Homo-oligomer: A and B are copies of this chain.
Amino acid sequence: MENPGCTCTWRTLYEKPQTMLVNFKNMVVKLGKDDPRRITHSLKFGFALVLITIFQYFRPSFYVLGDNIMWAVITVVFVLEFSVGATLGKGLNRVLATAFAGGLAVALREIASFFGDKGKVVMITVSVFFVAGTVTFLRFSPRLKAKYDYGMIIFNLTFCIVALSETTENELLEVAQERLLTIIIGTCIAITVCICICPVWIGQDLHNQIASNIVKIADFLEGFRDEYFNNLGKTAEAEDDKSFLHRYESILSSKTNEETMAVLARWEPRHGRFRFRHPWKQYLKLGNQIRLCAYKIKALSVFLLRSDQTPYEIRSRIEEPCANIIMESGKALKESSLMLKQFAKSGMANPHVANAKNASESLKSVLRTNPWEGADHLQIIPAATVASLLIDIVFCVEKICEAVEELANLANFEPSEILHRGTVQPIPDTDGAVHVITIAE
């Protein structure tokens, strides 16, 4: 019998590298398939470095890189990021921080040189201690960290390098100027390559992500309706396509990601339909509303797993108003998402939201009539909870649609003419006064 603890036989030693290679290949293929822009970015990165080589090889008359090429390489490696926003943010941070810190350190050395050799060493050491310590402390501030973290690191770096350098005062200014120029050249190469070759706008990414998150919520709700109010039981073939029931889960933990994207998007210049002062903060507000809805959906999804415990008989009593709520909420969300994708605004209240609210009122009316008279309370409660969560979700959907409309107003999207062909449906079972409001194209 083999020792189960020792899996390191000759066979595994031979097979492991093989499976590792296969896994590695699969990973690489998946990375490229998931987002082909990753391949473009890698090529852009290689190209930017080739540009530096060419720059060095042809030695333009106005400037010879020489061994300063190192600084151009360091700059490109650290500054050239996937998105334009990140690249511009890091580039500006790098150039400004280098200039400020370099200037400060040169001034410090000039002043310190009045104090004799020993005095100079002491003064520089004490300054390095305090300046580096203070900047390091400020890096803990979440607000400063979000926009200027890289700048603060570079400030520390440049200040210490210039202050502690062994170069004599006479050469110092020259060396500092050369390096700053090299860093500016590196930054320009990085920014040019990033913007001119298939640019990735992180603002556009955030916009698309928010729009597709709204659709994920709608898809879940529609999937929930089909599964929960389905009397057929679970068939094997239906099992295949239930990914939409889990797709919304990525929303639950998207907060940090959205915040980073919004910060980076602010560095981006006017592009496509995004103006210079695009209301990026509103995306975070909208993202929070979507997340609140996703938390409710997480609570709702529990009842999908346990729908077998509630007889179809009981579920079916609330099927109609619930299905209406879901249909209208789904339409409202999908229309909002479409408006967002098309940079359009409707200028009037979404009729599907009104319909969803009416459906929610009619669900309340049904509940008021005690639809489950005589049934076991333990079987009723899950169904009642589903009803209650759906009523809550209508409220969330309304908030999401309002936030989308607010964004459209803040960003001055153009009024759309193709949307809102819907009809506001009256509540069928209230006081009898029927107002049908049809909104023409």
Measuring CB to CB, which residues of chain A are less than 8 angstroms from any residue of chain B?
27-28, 31-32, 35, 38-39, 41-43, 45-47, 49-50, 52-54, 56-57, 66-67, 69-70, 73-74, 77-78, 121, 124-125, 128-130, 132-134, 136-138, 140-141, 143, 153, 156-157, 160-161, 164-167, 252-253, 255-257, 291-292, 295-296, 298-299, 302, 364, 367-370, 376-378, 380-382, 384-385, 387-389, 392
Contacts and interface: CB of A to CB of B under 8 A. Distances in A.
A168 B318 CA distance: 82
Nearest to A41: B136
Chain A contact residues: helix, strand, loop or mixed = helix
A69 B165 contact: yes
A305 to B, nearest CB: 11
A295 B74 CA distance: 44
Oligomer copy total: 2
Contacts of A74: 157, 161
A137 B73 contact: no
Contacts of A28: 137-138
Nearest to A382: B388
Given A32-B137, A256-B256, 4 more contacts: A45-B133, A46-B130, A77-B153, A252-B295
A56 B385 contact: no
Given A45-B136, A133-B45, A253-B253, A389 B378 contact: no
A13 to B, nearest CB: 22
B50 A125 contact: yes
B42 A136 contact: yes
Contact of A53 (B121, B133, B367, B387): B121
A28 B138 CA distance: 8
- Name which of A27, A46, A252 has the most chain B CB atoms within 10 A of its CB: A46
Nearest to A54: B125
